[in-house]
Each structure stands twice: as structure tokens, then as C-alpha cells.
């Protein structure tokens, strides 16, 4: 069923302070997520242009409401915290990021601000350099010897990658020349040549390993290898262009341009395109020339950086927020090209999400051959812009269209417009499929979502591995010795495709011979079969949770189990509700009963019914039940106990019962078990070493009970 698009972001000019506070929180969380994806995982989720738009909106709202600016705002921080796995390194001088300019006028305003701040008669000389799209690196030298290398991290603390950096030929381990400072931090960018990137991806693909999205990701991923030999095998390059701490400068009256020349003499590679400009006009000419050269350059760039040349001027200008006043990045618009969209394919993700992908006539965009482009979702194809992408004035996308493709931030190509003049008059509109192309199950689109999802949770090959992992997880069947790795292995070999297959492994083992697999033996296989047999008896709520129905977590599974009591009653009701499902809705008594369960509601009820409306899900469940010995009925919740309706929090190390046992007993007696303490908490049951939750309970005046007092309250 087609739902309405999500409303557009509120107009900043009309924002009230309370609404601005909410919008700022939303923007901050979204930007922090993208920062982590880019800086920690080297896997950006959106284009540079989309990211810049988010930041500009954040900055505009903070400018209108300056009292809402917090120290944790992305406008006050740099990058993201260092990823786990490497030792942390504190930068002696922070590695701050640059402010951005997107137009000639913004560059001119930057130069005029510098002139006004310094009270000069004219704009000072500016060094213009290509903005390398790589990974920022700081190198510390003591008495000319490399002693430490660190990534930027959050700007203040980075990751120690010294051993890996020593494998990069462009980085000298000993500085050359005589005028070497006693201590200095020299900085630049690790990158990979385009041709090396393509060759690496080809090798990765042939080996079945990770294929990188772009040269920047491949360079960052290569540098962050825990195995130094992997880094050494990757063709990493380095451009030096800056410095942090300097015990002294190697020249009198140092300037940015002279320091770059010194870096070259010291043994570094300095970008040969860097130019000293004596006016804004010269700087903009450099920008346009580099823009024209961009596709022909052997490395990726995403703009030009302008820096005030004189270092004494840089010191006077200082910093504002997260950026220096004396430098700015002039970003390029995303590169575009025109081609023909030959076909739209639907890819099904591990959670059932159906994502359309454009298959294009191959076209070169920025020196890279593009054959596929993301189409996001149904609304994007229809021109509704429901995914946050630029609205194309309602113009839809069709198979056979001539389209403009953009390498957005050089990450994932996307279609930004359609050339309507070249659209054939008889070209039919694209109809988004309402069935899964992988398994044929019907698809649903929930209200408020732009994504269609396959409902064949138990039988769809595209979802099988993740669903099976969920099936054996701790709160579901929890089969000892059958974890994620084993599920992946058994599925890859074709041994386990559906949940029922797990329980037939023993009967099929004469053919499978699991004991011959590496890491297995007769004893471990015997123990695995025993663990599987133990789970042939399972509680009803665990079975419901294990099915992986969308929106049905542990809590909702327990609500359903308690309401229906037995597996037979549950299945009878679900079949009745599913069989009555129509496009207009569901008015059956079975559906109304499901929808009226306290805590369930429309969204969960519809998801459960959609699951059972897929007949092959029912067949897979019946096959599973045929392998089980018993599904234990749910215990009825008692309403006449001392804790019925109360909210309880368990904290600390419990000695008389496990946390799961305590939770189950409390819920059986009608209590609600919460994970945090608030004013609504009635009891906190504290074991040994209870920490902040106990402190908060005392501060709020919440009743604190020992384990014995709790047992006394509930009658043992």
C-alpha cells in the first residue's frame, strides 16, 4: 500500500526556539552518525554534498539560536573518536578541519575577512593547493627520526599507526638536510592512485575480499590494517602539506610556501600543483584550472585549499570553533555525466529491504567507469524525494531514460536528473514490484517508510543467513555450539536453509559428515546434536521471537505468548487474521483481538499478519513444528500480587537468582522490569557492587530492596 511522503524539513526562518532545539538534536545525531561512518569505518553513507547540506543547516540554526550551541555539537568538534583496535595518541597541536566555501563569492568573502581582521590595505598572498581526498596523518620526528605516526581521529586524539606508516615509501624515516628541528610534527594526506585503486579492487574481488568504494576508503582501510604486511602490500602514497608542533622553524621569516619547499628538501613528496597566489582572482583561476584537470589527475581531489601564506599572519588570525581563520576549502560540485538507464534491478538486503539499482550504459565520471547507480527507493524513482535526495520537480525515472549521473562525493553514483527532451513518447512508467524478486513473497511498505520489504522472512534466500542467526540467538532457541559462524558455514554449504533444517542435521549427517569439517570431531558433533535435541522443547515466547517477525522483539513476543497461551491458539488466530487480510484493511475478529492486546498496536499487528499472510512462512513454520517435541504454553500473568503493576529495576551482582530468572519471575507476577531508574520506578533490587543505578535510586527516594527482601515481597 502506497503511503504519503515524509514532510520536508521545517523552514529555518519559521522555527521557534523549542522546535529549533528538536531540529538541532536530530541534525547533531545524524551528523555524528555520518562522522563515525566516514572517520572510524572508512565507509561514508552519503555524498559530500549531502553531508555539507546537513552541516550548513545545523550552522544556520545555531547562528539563529546561539544559546542552543553545545560543546558537543559537530560544529564544535572535528571528525570522530578514534576507532578501537589501535593505541591512542594525543596530538600536541590539534588537527582541526577546514571551513568550506562553495562559490566564488564565499572565497572572496573569506579573503576580505582576513584583510579586515589583519587591518591590511590589501588582501595578503594566498597559497592554493589541491585538496587530496585521503586520510589525514601526523608524523612526529625527533632529531630527524620518525618516532610516531597518528591518524587525525577526533582532531585531538588519533590512532597510533607508526608500524604501518613505516611501510610507505613516500614517508622518510629520517629527514634530510641540515636545518632539522629537534622536534616537529609534519602532516599530510595518505592516498592511493586511481589506477592502483582499480587494480587493488580487482584483486580483492578475485580473492572474494572486500571491494572498496573509492580510493580514499581503500587508502584508509589499508593504513588501518592490524597486519602490517597487508599495509606493506598496498600501494599507498603520501603528500606532505602542513605541520603541527615545531620546536623551531628551519628558516628565518617562514611562510607557508617556503615551508612546503623545505618539506620537499627534507624528503617528502609535495604536490607539484601548489601555487602561490597574489590575489583572489589568481586563486579562483587556480581553482578553475585544477577543476578542468581533475579527471586527468592520477589521484582523487574534492576541491582546493586556500591558506594565508605568512605564518605570522596565521598566528594572528588563529582559530574559530573547529577551523582556522587563515584557511578554507573551496569544494568542487559533484561530477556529472550523461548516459542511458537500460534497466532497473531490485536488490534484496539481509533484512528484506528491496533497493532499486539502475543498470547504466557504462560512462566515465571523473575518471571512473560507472555502470550502476543507486535509486534509493520507490519515491526516488517517482521523483518524490522521500529519501532526502534533491527533489527532481516531480520527474520520474524510467527504463530507457537518458539520465544525468553524479558521483556524489566520489562515493556512490546516483541519478540526479532526467533529460526529458530525449525521453521517447511511448516510454512506460516504471512500476515498483510488490513481490520479492528473489523468493516471490509479497512485499509491504509500512506507513512512514519509503522502503518496500519482502515478507518471506523464513524462506527468502536473500535474508536467510541473518534470519537463521537470529533464530539461534540467546533470546530465541539459544542452541549451544551453533552460533553465527556455524550458521554461516552450514548455510554456505547448503545444509541449513530454513529453521527446520537445523533439527534434521543429525538424521542427515551420514551424508553430510560434519565431523570432517575443520574444527569439528566426533565429540563436538555429538555435543552439537545433543544441544539441538534439548531445544526440541521450547517456550512459546522464545519460538515467536525466533521467527524474526518485524517489530516483534522479546517484549512483544511475551505479550503475544501470554495473550494466546498455546501455540495452537496462536497459530489459529494468526491464520484467521491473515486469511482475512485485504488491500482495504482487516476487519476480522481475529485481527481486532490481536490489535487490542495492550502494548501491541497497529504497526506490530500488521507486521505479524503480513508474516502469516505469506503461505510459505506458514509452511516453513509447520516444518519446524514437526521437528519439535513440545512448545511450552505461556504462564499466565498474575494480577493479584504485591508487585502487580509495579516497575522494578535489578542491578548489581545477584547471588540467589540470575538476572533472567528475576526478570521472568517479576513479569509473571505482573510487574514491569525496566533497564534504568526513574521517578516512575517502584523498586530497585540491588545485589553486590550495585553502581550508578543504586545511587540514582537513593537520590530519587526509590525503595531499595535486598535480594532477600525482594523474595519476601513476592513470596519466595
Instruction: Give me the sign of the Cα torsion angle 604, 605, 607, 612.
Output: positive
Contact 514, 525 (CB under 8 A): yes
Query: CB count, 10 Å around CB of 630?
Result: 10
Cell numbers describing residue 340? 542511458
Q: Sheet with 301-308: list strands edge to edge.
A: 99-101, 327-331, 301-308, 126-132, 275-277
Alpha carbons 357 and 343: distance in angstroms, whole number: 8
Binding site annotation covers 202?
no
3-state secondary structure of 596: coil
The CA-CA-CA angle for residues 45, 200, 371, to 5°, reads: 55
Say how far residue 112 (Cα) sits from the centre of its chain. Answer: 39
129 annotated as belonging to a binding site for a ligand: yes
Please tell me whether 520 is known to bind a ligand.
no
Whose grid coordinates read 529555518?
A: 12
**Residue 439 assigned to a binding site:** yes
**277 annotated as belonging to a binding site for a ligand:** no
Closest CA to 576 of 566, 561, 586, 563: 586
184 marked as binding residue: no
Whether residue 435 is annotated as binding a ligand: the answer is no
> 160 among the known binding-site residues?
no
Residue 484 annotated as lining a ligand binding site? no
48 is in an annotated binding site: yes
How far, in Å, CA of 549 to CA of 607, rounded? 7
Task: Measure Cα distances from 509 to 503, 520, 529 in Å.
Answer: 11, 13, 10
CB of 614 closer than 8 Å to CB of 456 = yes
Instruction: Compute the distance between CA of residue 158 and CA of residue 163 in angstroms, rounded to an integer.
Output: 15
Known binding residue 233? Answer is no
Distance CA(9)–CA(472), nearest Å, equals 41
Work out the burial of residue 326: count CB atoms within 10 Å of its CB; fewer than 13 is exposed, 13-18 middle, 19 or more buried: buried
Alpha carbon of 367 to those of 215, 274, 291, 338, 484: distances in Å?
12, 21, 13, 14, 40
Distance CA 192, CA 298 (A): 9
Q: Is the dihedral of CA 284, 288, 293, 298 positive or negative?
A: positive
Q: What is the 3-state secondary structure (H, E, C) of 546-571?
A: HCCCCCCCHHHHHHHHHHHCCHHHHH
Phi/psi at 297 (5° precision): -65, 145
Q: Which residues are catalytic?
A: 131
SS (H, E, C) 28-86: HHHHHHHHHHHHHCCCCCCCHHHHHHHHHHHHHHHHHCHHHCCCCCHHHCCCCCCCCCC
Q: Which residue has the cell 533439527?
A: 503
Residues flagged as binding site for NAD(+): 48-52, 97-98, 129, 152, 189, 307, 331
Residues flagged as binding site: 48-52, 97-98, 129, 152, 189, 307, 331, 436, 439, 460
Residues flagged as binding site for Zn(2+): 436, 439, 460
Amino acid at each position: 500500500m502506497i503511503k504519503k511522503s515524509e514532510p520536508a524539513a521545517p523552514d529555518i526562518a519559521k522555527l521557534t526556539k523549542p522546535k529549533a532545539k528538536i531540529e538541532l538534536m536530530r541534525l547533531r545525531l545524524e551528523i555524528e552518525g555520518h562522522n563515525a561512518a566516514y572517520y572510524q569505518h572508512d565507509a561514508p553513507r552519503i555524498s559530500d554534498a549531502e553531508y555539507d547540506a546537513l552541516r550548513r543547516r545545523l550552522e544556520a540554526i545555531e547562528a539563529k539560536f546561539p544559546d542552543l550551541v553545545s560543546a558537543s555539537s559537530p560544529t564544535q568538534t572535528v571528525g570522530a573518536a578514534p576507532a578501537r583496535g589501535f593505541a591512542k595518541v594525543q596530538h600536541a597541536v590539534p588537527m582541526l578541519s577546514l571551513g568550506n566555501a562553495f562559490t566564488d563569492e564565499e572565497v572572496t568573502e573569506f579573503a576580505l575577512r582576513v584583510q579586515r581582521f589583519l587591518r591590511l590595505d590589501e588582501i595578503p598572498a594566498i597559497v592554493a593547493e589541491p585538496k587530496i581526498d585521503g586520510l589525514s596523518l601526523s608524523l612526529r620526528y625527533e632529531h630527524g627520526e620518525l618516532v610516531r605516526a597518528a591518524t587525525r581521529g577526533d582532531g585531538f586524539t588519533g590512532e597510533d599507526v607508526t608500524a604501518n606508516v613505516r611501510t610507505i615509501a613516500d614517508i622518510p624515516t629520517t629527514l634530510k638536510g641540515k636545518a632539522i628541528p629537534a622536534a616537529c610534527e609534519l602532516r599530510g594526506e595518505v592516498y592511493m592512485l586511481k589506477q592502483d585503486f582499480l587494480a587493488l579492487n580487482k584483486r580483492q574481488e578475485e580473492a572474494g575480499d572486500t571491494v572498496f568504494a573509492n580510493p580514499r576508503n581503500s587508502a584508509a582501510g589499508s593504513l588501518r590494517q592490524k597486519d602490517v604486511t597487508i599495509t606493506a602490500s598496498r600501494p599507498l602514497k603520501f603528500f606532505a602539506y602542513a605541520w603541527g608542533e615545531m620546536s623551531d622553524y628551519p628558516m628565518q621569516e617562514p611562510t607557508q610556501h617556503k615551508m612546503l619547499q623545505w618539506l620537499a628538501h627534507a624528503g617528502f613528496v609535495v604536490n607539484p600543483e601548489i601555487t602561490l597566489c597574489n590575489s583572489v582572482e589568481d586563486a579562483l583561476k587556480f581553482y578553475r584550472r585544477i577543476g578542468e584537470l581533475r579527471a586527468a589527475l592520477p589521484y582523487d581531489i574534492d576541491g582546493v585549499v586556500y591558506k594565508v601564506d605568512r605564518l605570522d599572519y596565521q598566528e594572528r588570525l588563529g582559530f574559530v570553533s573547529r577551523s582556522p581563520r587563515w584557511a578554507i576549502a573551496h569544494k568542487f560540485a559533484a561530477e556529472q555525466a550523461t548516459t542511458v538507464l537500460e534497466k532497473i534491478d531490485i536488490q534484496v538486503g539481509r533484512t528484506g529491504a528491496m533497493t532499486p539499482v539502475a543498470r547504466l550504459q557504462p560512462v566515465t565520471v571523473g575518471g571512473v567507469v560507472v555502470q550502476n547507480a543507486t535509486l534509493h527507493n520507490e519515491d526516488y524513482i517517482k521523483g518524490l524525494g522521500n529519501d532526502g535526495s534533491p527533489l527532481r520537480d516531480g520527474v520520474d525515472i524510467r527504463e530507457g531514460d537518458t539520465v544525468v549521473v553524479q558521483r556524489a562525493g566520489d562515493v556512490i553514483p546516483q541519478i540526479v536528473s532526467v533529460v526529458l527532451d530525449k525521453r521517447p513518447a511511448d516510454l512506460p512508467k516504471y512500476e515498483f514490484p510488490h513481490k520479492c524478486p528473489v523468493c516471490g513473497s509479497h512485499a509491504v511498505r509500512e506507513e512512514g517508510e519509503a522502503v518496500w520489504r519482502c515478507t518471506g522472512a523464513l524462506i527468502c534466500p536473500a535474508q536467510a543467513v541473518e534470519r537463521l542467526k537470529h533464530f539461534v540467538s540467546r533470546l530465541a532457541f539459544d542452541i549451544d555450539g551453533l552460533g553465527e559462524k556455524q550458521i554461516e558455514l552450514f548455510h554456505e554449504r547448503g545444509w541449513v536453509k530454513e529453521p527446520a533444517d537445523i533439527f534434521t542435521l543429525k538424521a542427515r549427517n551420514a551424508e553430510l559428515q560434519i565431523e570432517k569439517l575443520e574444527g569439528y570431531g566426533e565429540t563436538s558433533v555429538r555435543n552439537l546434536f545433543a544441544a539441538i535435541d534439548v531445544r526440541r522443547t521450547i517456550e512459546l515466547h522464545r519460538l515467536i521471537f525466533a521467527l524474526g517477525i518485524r517489530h516483534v522483539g522479546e517484549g512483544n513476543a511475551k505479550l503475544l505468548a501470554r495473550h494466546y497461551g498455546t501455540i495452537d491458539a496462536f497459530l489459529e488466530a494468526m491464520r484467521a487474521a491473515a486469511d482475512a487480510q485485504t488491500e482495504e484493511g482487516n476487519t476480522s475478529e481475529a485481527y481486532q483481538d490481536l490489535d487490542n492486546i495492550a502494548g501491541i498496536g497497529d504497526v506490530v499487528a500488521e507486521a505479524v499478519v503480513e508474516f502469516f499472510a505469506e503461505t510459505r512462512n506458514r509452511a516453513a513454520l509447520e516444518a519446524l513444528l514437526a521437528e519439535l517435541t513440545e512448545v511450552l504454553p505461556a504462564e499466565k500473568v498474575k494480577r493479584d500480587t504485591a508487585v502487580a503493576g509495579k516497575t522494578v529495576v535489578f542491578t548489581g551482582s545477584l547471588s540467589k537468582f540470575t538476572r533472567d530468572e528475576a526478570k521472568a519471575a517479576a513479569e509473571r507476577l505482573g510487574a514491569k522490569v525496566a533497564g534504568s531508574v526513574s521517578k516512575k520506578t517502584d523498586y530497585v533490587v540491588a545485589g553486590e557492587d550495585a553502581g550508578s543505578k543504586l545511587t540514582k535510586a537513593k537520590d530519587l527516594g526509590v525503595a531499595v530492596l535486598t535480594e532477600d527482601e525482594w523474595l519476601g515481597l513476592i513470596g519466595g
